[in-house]
Structure 1
Amino acid sequence: MNPAILPRALTMGLLACLAALSPARAQATLDKVSFGTNWVPEAEHGGFFQAVADGTYKRYGLDVTIVPGGPNDNNRMLLISGKLDFFMAANTLMSLDAVANKVPVVSVAAIFQKDPQVFLTHPESKITKLEELKPLTLFVSKEGITGYFQWLKSEYGFNEKNVRPYTFNPQPFIATAQSAMQGYVTSEPYAVEKAAQFKPGIILLADYGFNTYSTLIETRSELIDKKPDLVQRFVDASIIGWYNYLYGDNAPANALIKKLNPEMTDDLLAFSLAKMKEYGIVDSGDTLREGIGAMSDEREASFFDKMVRAGVVKPDIDFRKAYTLRFINKGVGLDLRPKN
């Protein structure tokens, strides 16, 4: 061999060895992260499962375990006690409640720009506006009464005299023509259509000013202080996961969801995804400029003021402690949104 070629050959060989070793090294240095959801696996969690299934979290140096929630689980308590690193909070009211009770958790991203909360109506009632629900029998859950219904009373003059308990069974609504039932736009319309063979009317509260964020990523203040880089990587990778779930090949996520939740069907997954897109649940408003997960001080203040007027939260709490904009509004993943 030409002596002049020898150093180059050794260099190339060394680079090849390093390339062969790098996946193992990367695997060995992944940071273990646990993320608790607030319900069983479903399309509404799709972006998180996508980031696991397609390797996005790993590319961000994370070994993420998703801990599903359910009717008998309290993953938020596991977050507070330090047994989970992140939690999927339902809405901003949970964050405000944490501040009121001096619980050191903070929202670091808002995956849903619109709360999926809706009222469903019978098609023959021809309801097209929120105010037209007032004379109807309204099936509302106990949590709904203490939350969004207080806003309906203060902002739109609703009255609890027409309210009946909603037990997450659509049959009373189906059997009562002059009624409306609470639900999520991503699930209950599907259940009603299957059970009653009609497409219900849909009134999305977010379109009438109920501007809470939903499906927030929440973590402990301690983790933000001690491991801000880990928090940033989890937020960024989750955002990428949501772009890929909405606009890319989401088969890996759906397969994982169905594996963990055998009762889930392809039809419901497709329905939920379609509704998230149709109503701009994830990607609308501020996210068009700032990227999925966006939040703003103005909107947080607006929702806080509405909840104060409704008597849901006390006016003396510092709502700014409920969230931080430090990890979002950076345009992460904007290039993944389809151009047309």
Structure 2
Amino acid sequence: MRLRTAPLLATVALAAASLGAQAQEKFTYMTNWYAQAEHGGFYQAVATGLYKKYGLDVTIKMGGPQVNILQIMGAGQADCIMGSSDLQMLRARDNGLPVVTVAALFQKDPQVLIAHEDVKSMEEMKTKTVLIAASAQQGYWAWVKSKYGLTDAQTKPYTFNIQPFLADKNMVQQGYLTSEPYAIQKAGVKANTFLLADLGYPSYATTISCMEKTVNDRAKVVADFVKATAEGWKSYLADPAPGNVLIKKDNPNMTDDQLAYSVAKMKEMGIVGSGDALKSGIGTMTEARIKANYDFLVGQKFIDPAKVDLAKAYKLDLARNAKVLP
């Protein structure tokens, strides 16, 4: 009898293990750039088992400068993607891709303009040459022009190289709060950094954006991903070490000094844990703010209101229901 029971128990154990493995829902999230601290909460949720806690087997795929993550998601090769801003996702919807943004991990878009130390205000940039990437034309640069009177005539293309700025004191350049200012500082040049979010730029950033079909057909999975990710960001900002191991594995060029600088800046400037996130949770978006973003894009004629139904472009309850306070 014992000889028969042992194989039977082994079979039951294998079946149970198989069922456990099947219970983990596979989910692929694609970032918008190479792995960095600005993606830390996602990597942290993998590293610390938070996604697994919610029954998710999550793969984080890196984007990059030559990667069209919207196209990849549209082709079914990613479940959700990281929008650099929710404005970008609204423009995608205007272009016919039924994208729904379900959370925005950054309450403040980290986009900055960087000037040499003699420039003390945005208004003083009117006499400067401004290095701006083409991708900024239908986003923050249009907002800067409308608010501060800067013009396209004073711009030159930004090639993601700080050397022209370092060599010319008449230059202003775009940047990301946690990246270019650090590189410029390391180069020994004194500069002033202007965080557009603190000047009124309304865009959210680092979104979880998915196809409408995914949000409808995999509602619980998407909700669990949002909650686990919010917990991942809270954990990462408290102790980034686990997530940083995976970031450096994906992106070997990333340094400990850069990671530490980025985390410190995100915390100092309240990129994740400020505004509505303080009372409603990490990833929260509000009706008033998405309406402000929508009105800005419509006013600039970047989207056609006849093509973009704001109620379908966002799903606000997932981050609120998760309510992971910073």
TM-score by length of 2: 0.91
Q: How far is 1:34 from its partner?
A: 0.7
Give me the identity figure in percent: 45
Q: How far is 1:112 from its partner?
A: 0.8
Aligned Cα root-mean-square deviation (Å): 2.1
Q: Is the 8 A contact 1:98 1:322 kept in 2?
A: no
In structure 1, the partner of 2:192 is 201
Q: Are residues 1:253 and 2:247 paired? A: no
Q: Distance in 1 between matches of 2:211 and 2:169?
A: 46
Q: Are residues 1:274 and 2:233 paired? A: no
Alpha-carbon deviations, 1:192-224, whole Å to 9, x = none? 1122x1342110111122111111001111122
Q: How far is 1:191 from its partner?
A: 1.0
Q: How far is 1:143 from its partner?
A: 1.4
Q: Are residues 1:314 and 2:304 paired? A: yes
Q: How far is 1:188 from its partner?
A: 0.4
Q: Distance in 1 between matches of 2:56 and 2:29?
A: 12
Q: Is the 8 A contact 1:26 1:61 kept in 2?
A: no
Q: Is the 8 A contact 1:130 1:208 kept in 2?
A: no
Match for 2:143 among 142, 151, 160?
Answer: 151
Q: How far is 1:315 from its partner?
A: 4.0
Q: Are residues 1:299 and 2:289 paired? A: yes
Match for 2:78 among 81, 84, 95?
Answer: 84
Q: Distance in 2 between matches of 1:331 and 1:229?
A: 12
Match for 1:329 among 317, 320, 323?
Answer: 320
Q: Distance in 2 between matches of 1:23 and 1:222?
A: 31
For 1:100-115, list aligned pairs within 5 A: 100-115=94-109
Q: Taking structure 1 as reference, are residues 75 and 159 closer, same or farther at Cα in structure 2, changes over 3 Å only?
A: closer
Q: Which secondary structure state, in structure 1, belongs to the residue aligned with residue 228 of structure 2?
A: helix
Q: Are residues 1:234 and 2:225 paired? A: yes
Match for 2:48 among 51, 54, 72?
Answer: 54
Aligned amino acid, residue 91 of structure 1: S
Q: Distance in 1 between matches of 2:125 and 2:301?
A: 22
Based on CA coordinates, which of the two structures has the bigger radius of gyration? 1
Count of matched residue positions in the alignment of Structure 1 and Structure 2: 314
Aligned amino acid, residue 67 of structure 1: K
Q: Distance in 2 between matches of 1:163 and 1:78?
A: 31
Alpha-carbon deviations, 1:264-283, whole Å to 9, x = none? 00000001111111111111
Q: Distance in 1 between matches of 2:138 and 2:323?
A: 36
Q: Distance in 2 between matches of 1:62 and 1:82?
A: 18
Q: Taking structure 1 as reference, are residues 172 and 307 closer, same or farther at Cα in structure 2, changes over 3 Å only?
A: same
Which stretch has the larger CA shift, 301-310 or 264-273? 301-310
Q: Distance in 1 between matches of 2:173 and 2:89?
A: 26
Q: Distance in 2 between matches of 1:72 and 1:306?
A: 28
Alpha-carbon deviations, 1:297-332, whole Å to 9, x = none? 110111121222233333443233221113122353
Aligned amino acid, residue 309 of structure 2: D
Match for 2:123 among 113, 127, 131?
Answer: 131
Q: Taking structure 1 as reference, are residues 254 and 95 closer, same or farther at Cα in structure 2, changes over 3 Å only?
A: same
Q: How far is 1:22 from its partner?
A: 7.9
Which stretch has the larger CA shift, 43-52 or 177-186? 177-186
Match for 1:32 among 26, 50, 56?
Answer: 26
Q: Distance in 2 between matches of 1:224 and 1:309?
A: 29
Aligned amino acid, residue 304 of structure 2: K
Q: Taking structure 1 as reference, are residues 273 and 199 closer, same or farther at Cα in structure 2, changes over 3 Å only?
A: farther
Which stretch has the larger CA shift, 103-112 or 71-80? 71-80
